[in-house]
Structure 1
Amino acid sequence: MINFRLLRHLYLFSVVAEELHFRRAAARLGMSQPPLTEQIQVLEAALKVRLFERSSKGVQLTPEGAAILPAVKKLVFQMDRVEVSVQEALRGRGRMLTIGAITTAMASPLPAVIEQLKAEVPDASISVIEIDSAEALLALDEGVIDVAFARIEGDAGQGVQARPLRTERLGVALPAWHPLAARKTIALRELADEEFIMFPRAVSPSFFDGIVAACRAHGFTPRILHESRSVTSQIAMVGCSQGIALVPLGLQELGGERVAIKPLKEQVDVVTIAVAWSARTRDPMVERIVAIAAALGAGGGARKSVARK
């Protein structure tokens, strides 16, 4: 039997864990703080662990709280998906199709893919969630998502089919005031003394390793000052004068007035977007999304692949 009270308490825990502030979490939940605190205490008593520590620095997750948070987030997402699916069924629509996408893909090509799918299947129910490329394979394997738009390449026999949609040349994003920003092209070796903003390797192994390998081939290892989980936030941090970043050259329009994105003299190419799906799926809607994405992205043939974002 489903314990709905426990599910409610776990949902409250996930919100407090995201906010790390009881008052903000209570406001977000539309309730006062004392009942929220009380229900978290009930959950702690039921689980026989402390989930949060309070200190002068604020609220922090305990090791036990941090350990269960990923599973709780997954559970909350699945329950939300059930609720949406029920509502769609009541409207007479089919099942909800869930797409996981990195932020770059949400800018392009995903909007065009969804627009064309909706034109072909007006009643299609689609949910888009943000996901790291490194999470894509597991999410596909566990059925959390139906399709992924992420940086995916290589072959690890993971039962995932992937079709590259876009391979782009890298450029360097610099603050507009930087002396190199006036140059037409920049050599990698000229960045040896710069401080880099990069993905955490766990988020995008192939992107991270490709950049490090390219830098080492030109005589230096990049000094990573900041880490950011998306290309768009990397560019924003460059605009805040926090360092430089190697990003797809096609994102030059995101630079604005504060960031210059210049071509590298050396040609360093990366797979920026691929569409991926479980090899076990026989869902016609998934197959149609893949076909639309391939047509829009002029992608190559599908192959067994592993996420290395």
Structure 2
Amino acid sequence: MSHIDFRLIRQLWMFLAVAEEQNFGRAAARLSMSQPPLTEQIKVLEHSLKLQLFERSRRGTKLSPAGAAILPAVRQFALQVEQLERVVREVAAGQSGVLQVGAITSAMLDTVPPLQDYMRRQHPHVTVFVREIDSADAIPALQAGDLDLAFVRLEGDVGQGIATLPMMEDRLAVALRKDHPLAGQSQVRLKSLSHEPMVMPSRQVSPVYFDMLVGLCRAQGFAPRVMHEVRSVSSQIAYVSCGQGVALVPASMRRLAPENVVVRPLREKTMVVTAAAAWNAERHHPLLDEAVAWLQAQRPSRMTHAA
């Protein structure tokens, strides 16, 4: 097993400080050290990486092309180290556990907060970390152990040891600009959208959901004219507002619609899963087991059936 090079970690922190301050003096002050040792450590880092990271002149210090190329990865590394430090501090302070949760944006608004409230009541010392993810990222993250629980758009058997539980269900609707000829109808036939440009959720982000919507259109005898693929339902609404097409969305999304957009249910009463809990059934985590049991108990009251 390779040893962790703590000296390299320290040097990368120094590199980040100099890159952000664009001045060795200010970077040294930020790091609570004097400038000569900082300058020397940057030279050592450049030598070990065989890269010139900064261009120095009388006018100041700026990143070299090589330095600019590695800066995003170093920033990401710094964020991960900060998260590790936070977890270690909380565990050392008496925290009894950590639950890593990933969720799509809509689930962060509706589904995750009640679970957090429950876990806080039952386990005041538990830390629940929540971060936004795309549905397509859930399964790899659950398999790798980067996430314990995910709230994403998944339906049915996804295999690979991943268990799912539908949490939110809604009636499928269409978002239209108010000046659209179909906007005056109380319900819209799916087939009437056959020639409309459509704004769809990205297949790369949520492949199961995308394929389900396409399948519904094909069942009505047409292939959707996909003009834009976007990363979220709120983006679909925004594109419709800008006159970029119509969008199939959950009916409850009418609450996000601006004044120039209406959301009309489809005449074909089609229910879609808008959020499902997913976890790795092959990993044991006591906090996860308790969270899943609570979700299963809450599911009948959490399922939303929009009119």
- The answer to whether the superposition gives a TM-score over 0.5 is yes
Q: Aligned equivalents of 2:163 and 2:148: distance in 1?
A: 12
Alignment of 1:222-237 (within 5 A): 222-237=224-239
The correspondence for 2:21, drawn from 32, 40, 50, is: 32
Distance 2:277 2:146 in 1: 16
Summarize deviations over 1:96-146 as a string: whole Å, max 9, x none: 211000111111111112112212222221110111111111101111111
CA distance in 1, matches of 2:99, 2:84: 12
Question: Deviations 1:24-50 (Å, cap 9, x if unpaired)?
Answer: xx9xx99334779x98xx789938799
Q: Go from structure 1 to structure 2 and tell me whether the alpha carbon gap of 1:44 and 1:186 turns closer, same or farther (over 3 Å shift).
A: farther
1:107 matched to which residue of 2?
A: 109
Pairwise CA distance, 1:240:
2.5
C-alpha RMSD over aligned residues: 3.6
Paired residue for 2:49, among 37, 46, 49? Answer: 46
Aligned to 2:284: 282
| Residue number in structure 2 paired with 1:19 | none
Indicate the residue corresponding to 1:120 in structure 2: 122
Aligned residues of 1:165 and 1:299 also touching (Cα < 8 A): no
Structure 2: stretches of 5+ with no match in the other structure: 28-38, 54-64, 303-307
Residue 198 of structure 2: aligned partner: 196
Q: Partners in 2 of 1:43 and 1:240 — Cα distance?
A: 49
**C-alpha separation between the residues in 1 aligned to 2:239 and 2:6?**
42
1:193 deviates by: 2.2
Task: Return the match for 2:162 from 155, 160, 164.
Answer: 160
The alignment covers a number of residue pairs equal to 270
1:127-146 alignment to 2 at 5 Å?
127-146=129-148
CA drift of 1:258 comes to 2.8
SS at match of 2:20: coil
Query: Under a length normalisation based on structure 1, what TM-score does the superposition of the two structures give?
Result: 0.74
Alignment equivalent of 2:259, drawn from 239, 254, 257: 257
CA shift, 1:9, in A, is: 7.9
Normalised to the residue count of structure 2, the TM-score between the two structures is 0.74
Contact 1:109 / 1:297 at 8 angstroms: preserved in 2? no
Classify the secondary structure of the residue corresponding to 2:97: coil
C-alpha contact (below 8 Å) 1:163/1:275 kept by paired residues: yes
Instruction: Kindly indicate whether the alpha-carbon contact (under 8 Å) linking 1:113 and 1:296 is maintained by their aligned counterparts in 2.
Output: no
Question: Is the 8 Å Cα contact of residues 174 and 259 (structure 1) preserved in structure 2?
Answer: yes
Could you say what secondary structure the match of 1:180 adopts?
coil
Deviations 1:46-101 (A, max 9, x none): 38799xxxxxxxxxx99xx79xx8x9898666434312211212321123211000
User: 8 Å contact 2:173–2:251 — kept in the other structure?
Assistant: yes
Counterparts of 1:272 and 1:43 in 2: how far apart (Å)?
49
2:212 partner SS? helix
Out of 195, 201, 205, the residue aligned to residue 207 of structure 2 is: 205
Structure 1 unaligned spans of 5+: 16-25, 51-60, 301-309
Q: CA distance change for structure 1 residues 11 and 246 in 2, over 3 Å: closer, same or farther?
A: farther
Residue 85 of structure 1 is matched in structure 2 by 87
What is the distance in 1 between the residues matched to 2:273 and 2:104? Answer: 13
Identity of aligned residues (%): 40
Considering Cα pairs closer than 8 Å and 6+ residues apart, tell me whether 1 or 2 has the greater RCO.
1
Question: What residue in structure 2 maps to residue 175 of structure 1?
Answer: 177
Aligned residue type for 2:283: T
Secondary structure of 1:84's counterpart equals helix
| Aligned counterparts of 1:154 and 1:12: Cα–Cα separation in 2 | 48
2:245 aligned partner: 243
The 1:267–1:85 alpha-carbon spacing in structure 2 relative to 1, beyond 3 Å, is same
Cα gap change, 1:120/1:45 in structure 2, threshold over 3 Å: closer, same or farther?
A: same
